[in-house]
Amino acid sequence: MTLERTYIMVKPDGVERGLVGEIIKRFENKGFQLVGLKFLSPTRTILEKHYADLSSKPFFPGLMTYMTSGPVVAMVWSGKGVVKAGRVLLGETNPLASLPGTIRGDFCIDVGRNLCHGSDSVENAEKEIALWFTEGVVSHNRVVERLIYE
Ligand SMILES: Nc1ncnc2c1ncn2[C@@H]1O[C@H](COP(=O)(O)OP(=O)(O)OP(=O)(O)O)[C@@H](O)[C@H]1O
């Protein structure tokens, strides 16, 4: 079975605030599989590609300053429906509109400090994985698979 994949990134505020483990834990608890993980200081070049569709927005310069303010944790998670479910785990783009129980609903307030990124479609997930994980990801058959999927 080829499972869906998504690109999840803990942004610099999430790293600085010590929420990397908490964010990973929520994806692990759900049953999704971690297949890519790295800690890096993103360049403007990669961020300009990642956020290309937002380049004309008034908040774009601030977004670049925020995203280059420190290291990020880049991850690829795999599982049934993981793109949509990942966005549910993250919460709304605006944290004040996010319900308690979501990452943004529980841990942040401002849209420009919303802790994490999650791909918004299967197509964009694959583009983002290709951008951030040029070296590829791990291929591993977990033994717990039959306890998570029927
Ligand atoms: N009005 C805004 N003011 C400041 N920053 C914003 C604003 N809107 C979006 N952003 C920032 O740009 C990021 C990307 O915006 P987008 O509209 O693609 O939302 P998203 O897909 O929910 O977020 P992400 O791609 O980070 O998961 C947001 O997560 C947020 O950090």
Does residue 1 carry a pLDDT above 80? no
Structure tokens at 17: 């605030």
Complex ipTM: 0.93
49 is in an annotated binding site: no
For a pLDDT cut of 70, what percent of the chain falls above it? 99
Average pLDDT over every residue of 98-106: 98
pLDDT tens string 42-92: 999 999 999 999 999 999 999 999 999 999 999 999 999 999 999 999 999
Residue spans of beta strands (DSSP E) within the chain:
5-10, 33-40, 72-78, 116-118
Residue range 23-51: mean pLDDT, rounded = 98
Query: What average pLDDT is seen over the chain?
Result: 97
Q: Name the residue with the closest Cα to ligand 1, atom 22.
A: 93
How high is the pLDDT of residue 145? Answer: 94
Which atom from ligand 1 is nearest to the alpha carbon of 114? 31
pTM above the 0.95 mark?
yes
List of residues 6+ apart from 117 with CB closer than 8 A: 7, 8, 9, 11, 90
**Is the confidence at residue 94, as pLDDT, over 70?**
yes
Residues tagged active-site: 117
pLDDT score of 99 more than 70: yes
